[in-house]
Structure 1
Amino acid sequence: MIELNADIGEGHEDDALMPYIARASIACGGHFGDAGSMRTALLRCAEYGVAAGAHPSYPDRAGFGRRRLAAPPEEITRWVAEQTETLAEAAARLGLVLAHVKPHGALYNDAAADAAVAGAVVEGVARVDRRLAVVGLAGSQLVSAALAAGLAALNEAFADRRYYASGRLVSRKTLGAVIADPDAAAAQALALATGGPLDAEGGAVTITAETLCVHSDTADAFKIARAIHRALHRG
């Protein structure tokens, strides 16, 4: 059964999401998050038996990490390592261990398409703990870089985002890029889980993934997660 994940600790109400997800990526200071929010998110994961991971980003709070920052690979590596280590230390103080790292926003998209950025992200993860899995866009440069470096990798797909026929995500700047209807998101999740084609911009696309994401900042995210959870378990 394919798992459901969410990005949490980003200033939204996460409690209602937790019963429906198996994995959570926690904002760790780059685009959002502080000691208090990280601790709260980690405790939520522990309470619900959810695997916790780091959600590092370009250090851009004003843009919520959704703007690309031009930086050399070694700088990106440092950002990823520092943010991941911050969350790992917070987890250790609670007797918890992180399971994965998933970049956020523009860093996620850049690592999906740019081999140099992907390599920098993977190096940052490896500097903290080589046992951490890397979560990246299905079939992306990031997944390839993680596997090439000997790290575990999870191919991720999105239940609440539209795709191009190329397998890339439609930009959030495009009207309709985010799927806000729970039934539509559940239908896309079921197609992803069963290997069926998605109705994508420019044609159809088939994506193979091990984990599906629901964004906590989508309106009524918990309703989307609940609908997907029901569809997957019913299917």
Structure 2
Amino acid sequence: MDLNCDLAEGAPFDHQLIETIDSANIACAFHAGSPSLIRETALLCLDHGVHVGAHPGFLDRANFGRLEQQVTPQEVYELVTFQVAGMLGILNPIEIPLHHVKLHGALYNQTARDLNLARAAVHGILEQHQDVVFYGLAGSAHIQAAREVGMKVWQEAFMDRTYQPDGSLTPRSHPDALHHSTEAALNQAREIASGHVTALGGQKIALQADTLCLHGDGEHAVEFALAVREVLRSGQ
């Protein structure tokens, strides 16, 4: 299973994480990051054989792109188009291919729930790049919207976030939204690899995943990454 991580967001662990992961979701300088950090991170990914992805979010640095907003499909389309185009403008001159796009934070969550918003995001990506993978929340509107237009999609699951019984991620405002121990994160990663996850409340949810996400700004990000990498490689 692919291991992806959100990078270029100002966290101090990027160099260590790049040595461990398979795919990097590079912030597009809206919710975090900068053009120079995009270029620096992409070059590090190239050195380590890591897939480079764009990570568009809301233009809301004060809330790190994690505060939901009232947006129309047209606004989502414009947000995604602008950020993917900007990423390509940095990657193309240094001849680094864009492998995937994964939405960030509140934009990710809102498009995962709302099919019209998801369709707008997919359309925005395809306007800029016809041959790119869309990383979307497993079983969500992301997957339906991408499949409707024949876009390649990898279903994503999370090792460091908890789940609700409907398969959505627990809101970050909830006290149990995050896993804080390596043991809990690894147990969830093992569950996901076997095709299910345990939601808050104990319900087992079927879950098909192609890529597993680890948040690069987490306090235990490097510890989690090293541990799960060993599990994925060993198949344990």
Pick the TM interval, shorter chain: over 0.9
Is the partner of 2:86 in helix, strand or coil?
helix
> Which amino acid counterpart does residue 198 of structure 2 have in structure 1?
D
Could you say which residue in structure 2 is the equivalent of 1:194? 194
Rounded to whole Å, the distance in 1 between the matches of 2:176 and 2:72 is: 33
| Pairing of 1:39-188 with structure 2 (within 5 A) | 39-188=39-188
Aligned-residue offset at 1:199: 2.5
Rounded to whole Å, the distance in 2 between the matches of 1:70 and 1:7 is: 24
Rounded to whole Å, the distance in 2 between the matches of 1:68 and 1:200 is: 23
| Pairing of 1:24-43 with structure 2 (within 5 A) | 24-43=24-43
Could you say which residue in structure 2 is the equivalent of 1:208? 208
Rounded to whole Å, the distance in 1 between the matches of 2:115 and 2:59 is: 20
Could you say which residue in structure 2 is the equivalent of 1:9? 8
List runs of 5+ in structure 1 lacking aligned partners: none
Rounded to whole Å, the distance in 2 between the matches of 1:81 and 1:33 is: 18
Rounded to whole Å, the distance in 2 between the matches of 1:149 and 1:71 is: 22
Could you say which residue in structure 1 is the equivalent of 2:23? 23
- Contact 1:164–1:205 (CA under 8 A) maintained in structure 2: no
Alpha-carbon deviations, 1:22-56, whole Å to 9, x = none? 11110002201211110111011101100001000
- Contact 1:183–1:227 (CA under 8 A) maintained in structure 2: no
> Which amino acid counterpart does residue 168 of structure 1 have in structure 2?
S
Report the TM-score, using the length of structure 1 for normalisation.
0.96
Is the partner of 2:82 in helix, strand or coil?
helix
Rounded to whole Å, the distance in 2 between the matches of 1:184 and 1:19 is: 23
Rounded to whole Å, the distance in 1 between the matches of 2:53 and 2:118 is: 18
Report % sequence identity. Answer: 36
> Which amino acid counterpart does residue 200 of structure 1 have in structure 2?
A
Rounded to whole Å, the distance in 2 between the matches of 1:199 and 1:149 is: 31
Rounded to whole Å, the distance in 2 between the matches of 1:127 and 1:167 is: 30
Is the partner of 1:106 in helix, strand or coil?
helix
- Contact 1:20–1:229 (CA under 8 A) maintained in structure 2: yes
Rounded to whole Å, the distance in 2 between the matches of 1:116 and 1:130 is: 20
Rounded to whole Å, the distance in 1 between the matches of 2:43 and 2:134 is: 22
Rounded to whole Å, the distance in 1 between the matches of 2:154 and 2:101 is: 10
Is the partner of 1:53 in helix, strand or coil?
strand
- Contact 1:100–1:135 (CA under 8 A) maintained in structure 2: yes
Is the partner of 2:63 in helix, strand or coil?
coil
Rounded to whole Å, the distance in 2 between the matches of 1:26 and 1:170 is: 23
Is the partner of 2:40 in helix, strand or coil?
helix
- Contact 1:180–1:224 (CA under 8 A) maintained in structure 2: no
> Which amino acid counterpart does residue 29 of structure 1 have in structure 2?
A
Rounded to whole Å, the distance in 1 between the matches of 2:102 and 2:167 is: 18
Aligned-residue offset at 1:113: 0.5
Residue correspondences, number: 233
Aligned-residue offset at 1:220: 2.2
Report the TM-score, using the length of structure 2 for normalisation.
0.96
Moved more, 198-207 or 102-111: 198-207
Alpha-carbon deviations, 1:119-178, whole Å to 9, x = none? 110011011011111111001101110111121111000000111121111111111211
